[in-house]
């Protein structure tokens, strides 16, 4: 379970008990710089993050794994497979995920993130992290202008976001906003599920989920109606049913 930016492995609290009860062995970790992980001065590019994932798999001797990559974590899934292949991988799930390429530009007109928007995010986080995270967690769970979770759930996400190291948050923001995964996605030959909310205002379905599905031959697609970016919390039951059905295939 590879968590979203800027949260931690605790963000899977609605999924881990359900998956465990269904008989899965669940591994959730905190990305370097986030949650309770160490906060090194560097290594916040996708190549290094994929190496971190490989180190976990090797240390725990994990094989036949299903990767569930949420938002930024979807980039780690894509980069891991392009770097290390599928020897340890049974299947993958892209949930509200950032591939194939967030950065809108002449060669990527469908990218959901403009240069101006990326600059404003960086500027806001650098100037006032508390205010930035307060707004970001609000948008994380907003669909069509309405909050889709309780205030307690939003506050829990805000608590996790504030555990992030500022340098780590800024550098990984740059990574997920500018990394091009388009060449790596076609290398995915394992079973793949793409699950995305149709009301995601942070990583839009049209700019990301729909394009991942179109790129990976034979991939399954589950669109959650009214789902914001944080659909694994707001629409936890629907998300979990889709995940369990995919694991049972």
Active site residues: 71, 200, 229
Tally Cβ neighbours within 10 Å of residue 214. 13
CA distance 65 to 77: 12
CA 227 from centroid of its chain's CA atoms: 15
Separation of alpha carbons 52 and 115, rounded Å: 29
CA distance linking residue 17 with residue 106, whole number of Å: 44
Measuring CA to CA, which residue among 194, 185, 191, 202 is closest to residue 224?
A: 194
Q: Do 78 and 86 meet the contact criterion of CB atoms below 8 Å apart?
A: no
Question: How far from the centroid of its chain's Cα atoms is residue 86's Cα?
Answer: 19
Instruction: Calculate the dihedral angle through the C-alpha atoms of 220, 203, 77, 216, rounding to the nearest 10 degrees.
Output: 40
Residue 42 makes CB contacts below 8 A (sequence gap 6+) with 48, 171
User: How far apart, in Å, are the Cα atoms of 56 and each of 7, 24, 63, 111, 232?
Assistant: 19, 17, 11, 31, 24
CA distances from 164 to 13, 80, 85, 109, 115 (A): 18, 23, 30, 31, 24
């Amino acid at each position: 379970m590879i968590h979203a930016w800027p949260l931690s492995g605790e963000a899977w609290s609605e999924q881990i008990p359900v998956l465990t009860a269904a008989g899965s062995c669940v591994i959730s970790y905190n990305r370097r710089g986030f949650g309770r992980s160490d906060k090194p001065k560097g290594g916040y590019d996708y190549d290094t993050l994929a190496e971190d994932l490989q180190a976990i798999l090797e240390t725990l001797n994990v094989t036949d794994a299903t990767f569930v990559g949420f938002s930024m974590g979807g980039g780690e899934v894509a980069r891991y497979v392009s770097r290390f292949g599928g020897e340890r991988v049974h299947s993958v799930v892209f949930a509200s995920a950032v591939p194939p390429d967030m950065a809108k530009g002449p060669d990527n007109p469908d990218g959901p993130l403009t240069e101006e928007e990326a600059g404003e995010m960086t500027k806001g986080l650098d100037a006032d992290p508390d205010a930035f995270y307060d707004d970001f967690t609000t948008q994380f769970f907003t669909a069509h202008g309405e909050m889709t979770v309780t205030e307690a759930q939003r506050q829990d996400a805000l608590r996790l976001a504030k555990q992030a190291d500022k340098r780590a948050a800024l550098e990984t923001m740059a990574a997920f906003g500018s990394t091009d995964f388009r060449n790596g996605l076609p290398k995915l030959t394992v079973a793949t599920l793409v699950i995305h909310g149709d009301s995601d205002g942070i990583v839009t379905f049209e700019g990301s989920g729909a394009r991942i599905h179109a790129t990976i031959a034979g991939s399954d697609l589950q669109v959650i109606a009214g789902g914001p970016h944080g659909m694994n919390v707001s629409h936890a039951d629907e998300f979990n049913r889709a995940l369990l059905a995919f694991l049972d295939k």
